[in-house]
Chains A and B, each alone.
Chain A
Amino acid sequence: MNTLFTGVRPYDEDGADILVEDGVITEIGSRLSKSGAEVVDGDGLIALPGFVDLHTHLREPGREDAETVETGSRAAALGGFTAVHAMANTEPVADTAGVVEQVWRLGKVSGLVDVIPVGAITIGLAGLHLAELGAMADSAAHVRVFSDDGNCLSDAVLMRRALEYVKAFDGVVAQHAQEPRLTEGAQMNEGERSAVLGLRGWPAVAEEAIIARDVLLAQHVGSRLHVCHVSTAGAVEIIRWAKSRGADVTAEVTPHHLLLTDDLAETYDPIFKVNPPLRTTADVAALRAGLADGTIDVVATDHAPHTEEAKDCEWDVASPGMLGLQSALSVVLQALLELEEAGGPRLTWREIAERMSTRPARIGRLADQGRHLAIGSPANITLVDPSVRLEVDRTALASRSRNTPYAGRTLPGRIVATVLHGVPTVLDGKVRA
């Protein structure tokens, strides 16, 4: 299948046509033509490498009432993603080669996005015994990212062993940094607001203490560490310090932690309940600055679908988590806009592409994702209309769940088309059947 995208602006730089043949970018230039190729008019659209999410919950197997690989893939494609890492906290847990291959195959069947399974570090996410990490790495799913996400791997010895063990297959441990004893029953960021609202606090130190320990461990054993959903200013500082010492550490921030703050808990509406929790304005500012200066390497959605009943209840019994795939770019653009308005730097589209595509692909060791738009690169492409602002409509989401915290907000940017290995998965903002 051949497709010609006309009039696009790669990285919002010079306008060009992009010719895609058999899944590969074969020509970039002006006034290209190719007989038999489908022509997509991309006039005025920005072309970026397809986004790669390091942190997605697709809920299948086990909670197909909240999301399936199919519905999550649709949301991902509509969000401009061409690859998502499916977290391991499914039922059963993705802690064996069998389960990761099942998820990987479901992704292939859907065919809308590359579904890259994340393997659990410990059996059943219980934090007691290492899962068969090598078997998952060697499986058809080719797992390279390992995480007990949802739970923190708090045992220091087990964390050390995991960091060491995955070196054999160039894996990376992605830590959900949450000291468990300091966060028992925790409901929201601990601070001024939790004190007033009477919701049990989730202190920043519970995240920062684990990150501090882990960066030291990773450097001690010479391993790669990836820190999931960094949410505090102190964590940004620790990661900046670790990088300055030469630790091989990478970090992600979610779109919601870049935009939303803990005052939203005043509504007691669990649509704003998430783990780690929404933090303060100062934390948001530090996260934006960290993303801009490269301390935080990537944006990852932590897309966490939940059923209606899991959110339509009291705050403290509600499940934590927010949808993130479909709105990711718009939320990031809004956050960057606010960063710039506050006197911060302006990120170029190239820099945005690095944070949403190139670097996450590199961390996940995905050879054919996150490649620059260049002749010979695999044709994983996202076309963005940066000029529109749209109101988020919770009823118009592809996810099986509806738990978006952005409903009613007007956000910039729209994904017009997504191309996966040369095949458009989204055109005109709609999933291609």
Chain B
Amino acid sequence: MKHLLSADQLDRDDALLILDAAESLARISDRPVKKLPTLRGRTVVNLFFEDSTRTRISFEAAAKRLSADVINFSAKGSSVSKGESLKDTAMTLEAMGADAVVVRHGSSGAPHRLATSGWISGHVVNAGDGTHEHPTQALLDAFTMRRRLCRSEGDLAGKRVVIVGDVLHSRVARSNVSLLHTLGAQVTLVAPPTLLPVGVECWPGETSYHLDEVLPDADVVMMLRVQAERMNASYFPTTREYTRRYGLDAARVAMMPPHAIVMHPGPMIRGVEISPEVADSARSTIVEQVANGVSVRMAVLYLLLGGAEAGASEALATRRAVTEEVARR
């Protein structure tokens, strides 16, 4: 694997390799010295064309824990705002010797363009592109589910995951639908019909317009952010009506099975899609997701930059190498 552009590109073995590596690397974070020398001398550029402090610092922490040099390139205040093209920015990074570019971009497909246009030779990691994909978010979500529901082992076969909210504009939803399907989970998307894309019927899983009907069977309920601007574009009448029909409050949580967890990729809008008491409850994995994000991104950088080009036997070797390296330090 040269790039991580989409969850869609990962088969079950790829995904499990990343999750298992992340599980090993997570132990680093529990130690007083949170660092491995694996990527010493390698340069990782965080190329962020959209504001996203949480994703950027998560990748930054991940790269630094692997001893990589990290350059943060934020489009705001850089030459991009003066009209420099993606191509020229990319070639600048190439000239500076970037081994990997972690890119967040408002245009769907921008990481694909970086990876396939020949502008740069390094690895490209998609940190969220437009309304397309956010593969590391899906990986960290799967990692979190696996920890909570499967003792950190194997895939997510048979688990019922309900994803609620603005699926139409959500790259998190797209990546999750794809990865969860790959890992054997059953996904149900819940949204008002206006916030489900035309063509969603071709996605794996089911859709529903009624949250209350699907909650009793859920193992995971993942809430997506709903931006107020969607109301202005008449995707729904008011945020109040949205919250009444699709918001997760204590009464709805009570309908879920006792073991079921509540997830949110953040940033959440308390009082709209999720009530504060639910967000702060023991069922909520929201803070855990942030911590897991660092481990998963370490695994991705490790495997792309430090590890082997993943073939089946090499995957095993890589898995062993990660475990050994963590044990050694």
List, in ascending order, chain A residues with CB within 8 A of B171's CB: 198
Identify which of A91-99, A167-175, A185-193, A212-220 touches chain B: A185-193
A197 and B86 contact, CB distance less than 8 A:
no
In the complex, which residues 286-321 of chain A have their Cβ closer than 8 Å to any Cβ of chain B? 309, 312-317
Identify which of B125-133, B235-243, B268-276, B288-296 touches chain A: B125-133
B203 and A195 contact, CB distance less than 8 A:
yes
A201 at the binding interface (Cβ < 8 Å): yes
Given contacts A198-B129, A316-B107, contact A267 B198 (CB under 8 A): no
A190 and B198 contact, CB distance less than 8 A:
yes
B200 at the binding interface (Cβ < 8 Å): yes
Complex CA gap A200/B199 in Å reads 12
List, in ascending order, chain A residues with CB within 8 A of B117's CB: 312
List, in ascending order, chain A residues with CB within 8 A of B202's CB: 192, 195-196
B76 at the binding interface (Cβ < 8 Å): no
Closest to B108 in A: A198
Which of B105, B174, B197, B203 has its CB near the most chain A CB atoms (within 10 A)? B197
In the complex, which residues 100-135 of chain B have their Cβ closer than 8 Å to any Cβ of chain A? 105, 107-110, 112-113, 116-117, 129-133
Given contacts A195-B203, A198-B132, A201-B197, contact A316 B85 (CB under 8 A): no
A267 and B116 contact, CB distance less than 8 A:
yes
Taking the closest CB of chain A, its distance from the CB of B240, in whole angstroms, is 26
Closest to B171 in A: A198
Closest to B168 in A: A195
List, in ascending order, chain A residues with CB within 8 A of B199's CB: 190-196, 201
Closest to B133 in A: A198
List, in ascending order, chain B residues with CB within 8 A of A192's CB: 199, 202
In the complex, which residues 319-353 of chain A have their Cβ closer than 8 Å to any Cβ of chain B? none
Place the interface of chain B in its size category: 20 to 34
Complex CA gap A193/B200 in Å reads 10
Taking the closest CB of chain B, its distance from the CB of A61, in whole angstroms, is 24
Complex CA gap A195/B132 in Å reads 9
Taking the closest CB of chain B, its distance from the CB of A79, in whole angstroms, is 29
Complex CA gap A203/B197 in Å reads 12
CB within 8 A of B107: which of A193, A195, A317? A317
Taking the closest CB of chain B, its distance from the CB of A15, in whole angstroms, is 50
In the complex, which residues 196-210 of chain A have their Cβ closer than 8 Å to any Cβ of chain B? 196-201, 203
Which of A198, A200, A267 has its CB near the most chain B CB atoms (within 10 A)? A198
A268 and B130 contact, CB distance less than 8 A:
no
A315 and B107 contact, CB distance less than 8 A:
yes
Closest to A193 in B: B199
B130 and A316 contact, CB distance less than 8 A:
yes
List, in ascending order, chain A residues with CB within 8 A of B110's CB: 268, 314
B87 at the binding interface (Cβ < 8 Å): yes
B112 and A268 contact, CB distance less than 8 A:
yes
Closest to A201 in B: B198
A313 and B87 contact, CB distance less than 8 A:
yes
List, in ascending order, chain B residues with CB within 8 A of A199's CB: 108-109, 130-132
Given contacts A267-B112, A317-B107, contact A197 B198 (CB under 8 A): no
A64-95 vs B, CB cutoff 8 Å, 1 = contact: the mask equals 00000000000000000000000000000000
A197 and B203 contact, CB distance less than 8 A:
no
Closest to B169 in A: A198
B86 and A313 contact, CB distance less than 8 A:
yes
> Number of A residues whose C-beta is below 8 Å from B?
24
List, in ascending order, chain B residues with CB within 8 A of A269's CB: 113, 116
Taking the closest CB of chain B, its distance from the CB of A273, in whole angstroms, is 11
B200 and A195 contact, CB distance less than 8 A:
yes
CB within 8 A of A194: which of B85, B113, B198? B198
List, in ascending order, chain A residues with CB within 8 A of B131's CB: 198-200
B109 and A195 contact, CB distance less than 8 A:
no
B108 and A313 contact, CB distance less than 8 A:
no
List, in ascending order, chain A residues with CB within 8 A of B108's CB: 187, 197-199, 268, 315-316
Which of A200, A203, A268, A309 has its CB near the most chain B CB atoms (within 10 A)? A268
CB within 8 A of B86: which of A190, A200, A314? A314
List, in ascending order, chain B residues with CB within 8 A of A196's CB: 8, 174, 199, 202-203
Complex CA gap A187/B110 in Å reads 14
Closest to B117 in A: A312
Taking the closest CB of chain A, its distance from the CB of B137, in whole angstroms, is 14
Closest to B174 in A: A198
Complex CA gap A201/B200 in Å reads 13
In the complex, which residues 211-266 of chain B have their Cβ closer than 8 Å to any Cβ of chain A? none
B85 and A313 contact, CB distance less than 8 A:
yes
Given contacts A195-B203, A313-B86, contact A268 B198 (CB under 8 A): no
Closest to B233 in A: A184
Complex CA gap A197/B113 in Å reads 13
B183-210 vs A, CB cutoff 8 Å, 1 = contact: the mask equals 0000000000000011110110000000
CB within 8 A of A268: which of B87, B113, B200? B113
Complex CA gap A201/B87 in Å reads 25
Closest to B170 in A: A198
Complex CA gap A200/B106 in Å reads 12
B107 and A197 contact, CB distance less than 8 A:
no
Complex CA gap A2/B56 in Å reads 73
Taking the closest CB of chain B, its distance from the CB of A4, in whole angstroms, is 51
A268 and B85 contact, CB distance less than 8 A:
no
Taking the closest CB of chain A, its distance from the CB of B74, in whole angstroms, is 17
A314 and B198 contact, CB distance less than 8 A:
no
B174 and A314 contact, CB distance less than 8 A:
no
List, in ascending order, chain B residues with CB within 8 A of A315's CB: 107-109, 113
Which of B113, B117, B174 has its CB near the most chain A CB atoms (within 10 A)? B113
Closest to A200 in B: B131
Further 4 A-B residue pairs, CB within 8 A, beyond A190-B198, A196-B8, A317-B107:
A192-B202, A197-B108, A315-B108, A316-B108
Chain A residues proximal to chain B, CB less than 8 Å: 187, 190-201, 203, 267-269, 309, 312-317
Chain B residues proximal to chain A, CB less than 8 Å: 8, 85-87, 105, 107-110, 112-113, 116-117, 129-133, 171, 174, 197-200, 202-203
Interchain residue pairs A-B with the least CB separation, the first 10: A268-B109, A198-B132, A195-B199, A314-B107, A198-B131, A195-B197, A198-B108, A192-B199, A268-B112, A192-B202
List 17 A–B pairs whose Cβ atoms lie within 8 Å, in order of A's numbering.
Answer: A192-B202, A194-B199, A195-B199, A195-B200, A195-B202, A196-B202, A197-B132, A198-B109, A198-B132, A198-B174, A199-B131, A268-B109, A268-B112, A312-B85, A313-B87, A314-B107, A314-B109
